[in-house]
Amino acid sequence: MQFKTIKERMNVFVCDPEIVLKNPISGQDFYLRRVIAFMRESGFKILVVRPHDIKVFSDKMSDEYDLNFHMHYVNFSSIASSKILHPKATHLLYVYQLDDPTWSRYEKHRYRAFLRLTTISKLIDCYVTPSHDLSKELSRIVGSGNVKTLEPYHPCDEAFRDLLIDEKVRYLESRRLNVLYVGRINRFRVDLASAIRVLKSLVAKGFYVKFRIISMKEMGLPVQYRAFGSNKLDVELIGKRLTENEKAEIYAQSHILLFTSKGYSAMRPPLSIIESVCYGVVPIISPSITEFAFIDDIVVKRLEDKTLMKKIEYIVDAFKIINNKVFTSFKHFYSKERFLQQLLSILK
């Protein structure tokens, strides 16, 4: 199938457009918004519809276009209805996770049963995941023949990044450290008490520390804004949806991103880690982030105050070297060409 022919197909994204396009909450929403924006910029034909709108598609639409349905957070009934109404269309189901530390055992088994049922019923032509590790795990449930990977893409200006790192190194030389946490506030995702204890220990060693916590009401942070601090430790709580420019500005001011989750996150791989590296921020992660666990410089193997403290000190001492090592491992996330090739492989 030629590239031109692929672009002539109508790609129907089945999701909540109000959330995905205007008010994204989760990493999955941000990921899908990036996919839609990239395809529009590249000249693909795009429609975004809610699950219940599938039924109002006319026969003329099916006759006029070859259809790709990109299914995002839909139930079995919606998929089955779409397959009956549009039997010639290609149905792609996006799978972002297979487990979550907040899920009960019943919820985990129910989701896996749902995936198996879509396979047995032959309702899905292709399962799309954002992670090679996740693709391998999903293949054991639905089979390997119809699982594809579309890793995240994030635009990155390398020259600007280098300038940021040089500025951050000078900032660290004055014993000033900016630490960042982005995402859900719960006991599985982050141990804030431990983080505060460790940062207080750094203050005792002569550091001036700013700790920013960015979340939202939907993610567990009840305040819109609050700042407090004493004795060289400032804590800033930001409870709002950030624009892309606001997020870039905060990353540009930060040295370290904490992502020490006790279980896997809702988006694999976490987008905040990819975005942070683009702006010269070194992530500190737990081994549960399997996609990046091979990078020893950023992994805390035991989630204890002592090991987290040592990791922060190690990164501060070799900030530029570690930054460049991590960026080398992440470079493919910033390649438009790689993203397009993976996308074309899926749409063929």
Q: Tell me where in the chain the CATH 3.40.50.2000 domain(s) lie.
A: 3-154+333-347, 158-331
Name which of 257, 266, 282 is nearest 29 in CA terms: 266
For 21, 137, 238, 332, the CA distances from 48, given in Å and listed in that order, are: 9, 29, 31, 28
pLDDT at site 73: 85
Question: Residue 50 in 3-state DSSP?
Answer: coil
At 158-187, the pLDDT tens digits run 999 999 999 999 999 999 999 999 988 887
Is domain 158-331 given the CATH code 3.30.565.10 in the classification? no
Name which of 27, 293, 22, 300 is nearest 184 in CA terms: 27
Q: 271 and 27 in contact (C-beta within 8 Å)?
A: yes
| Confidence band for 330, pLDDT divided at 50, 70 and 90 | very high
The whole-model pTM stands at 0.92
pLDDT at site 62: 60
> What is the mean pLDDT of the segment spanning 84-98?
93
Q: Is 337 exposed, middle or buried (0-12, 13-18, 19+ CB in 10 A)?
A: exposed
The CA distance from 34 to 20, in Å, is 10
Name which of 257, 220, 255, 253 is nearest 239 in CA terms: 220
Query: What CATH number matches the domain at 3-154+333-347, 2.40.30.40, 1.10.3720.10, 1.20.810.10, 3.40.50.2000?
Result: 3.40.50.2000
Share of the chain above pLDDT 90, in %: 74
Share of the chain above pLDDT 70, in %: 97
* Helix (H) or strand (E) segment spanning residue 274: helix 271-278
- Judged by phi (left if over 0) then psi (alpha if -120 to 50, else beta), residue 183 lies in left
Name which of 223, 224, 214 is nearest 249 in CA terms: 214
pLDDT at site 143: 92
> What is the mean pLDDT of the segment spanning 50-73?
78
Taking only Cα atoms into account, the Rg of the chain, rounded to an integer number of angstroms, comes to 22
